Amino acid sequence: MSDSLVEIYTDGACKGNPGPGGWGALLVYNGVERELWGGEAETTNNRMELTAAIRALATLNRPCQVRLITDSQYVMQGINDWMPNWKKRGWLTANKQPVKNAELWQQLDEQVNRHQVNWEWVRGHNGHAGNERADALANRGVVQARRQPIS
C-alpha cells in the first residue's frame, strides 16, 4: 500500500435520464493531475456516477490510499449503506428484487477492494474546485457521447 494519498474527484452527467451521458474524474497525486472522461450514447446519471468511480480506481496500477470525493448520494449510500446487504442477499434488494446497476456495483466493489478508500461527499455545483473540474470532465464525456451512434 502506497504511503501517498491519491485524491480522486468524480462526477457523472446525463442529458435526459436516460439519454446521452458522461463521466469524469480528476486524479491528484503528489501535485500531479490526471483527467479522465468518457461517455455513453444511452445511459443514466447513476450509471455515469458509478462509472466515474470505477474508471478512476481502475486507473491506479497498484494498491493506493485513496480519498474519493463525489457529489453522488446514490454512490455514497450504495457503498456505505446498501452494498453489504446486497452482497449478503446475492445482489438482491430487501424486497428480493435484482439490484439496479448490479454489474457496475460489483465492478466498483472489486476496485474498492484493491485500495484503501475513504469516501467523502460534497454538494455538487457549490464551488468546490475538484468537483467543478470533475463536472466539466463529465460534460466533456456527454459531448463525446452525443457523437456516438446508439447501439
- CB-based burial of residue 142 (10 Å sphere; 0-12 exposed, 13-18 middle, 19+ buried)? buried
| 132 catalytically annotated | no
11 annotated among ligand-binding-site residues: yes
Catalytic annotation on 135?
A: yes
Question: Is 120 labeled as catalytic in the residue annotation?
Answer: no
Catalytic residue among 21, 24, 71, 141: 71
Identify the burial level of 47 via C-beta atoms within 10 angstroms of its C-beta, where 0-12 means exposed, 13-18 middle and 19 or more buried.
buried
Selected catalytic residue, list 24, 38, 49, 141: 49
Q: Tell me the Cα Rg of the chain.
A: 15
Catalytic residue among 24, 38, 40, 135: 135
Do the annotations mark residue 49 as ligand-binding?
yes
How far apart CA 57 and CA 63 sit, in angstroms, is: 9
Active-site annotation holder among 11, 22, 78, 141 = 11
Catalytic-residue membership of 71: yes
For the record, the C-alpha cell of 43 comes out as 445511459
Catalytic: 11?
yes
Q: Are 9 and 33 in contact (CB under 8 A)?
A: no
Check whether 135 is labelled as a binding-site residue. Answer: yes
Catalytic residue among 12, 22, 78, 141: 12
**Is 3 among the residues known to form the active site?**
no
Supply the residues annotated as catalytic.
11-12, 49, 71, 125, 135
Annotated binding-site positions: 11, 49, 71, 135
Annotated binding-site positions for Mg(2+): 11, 49, 71, 135
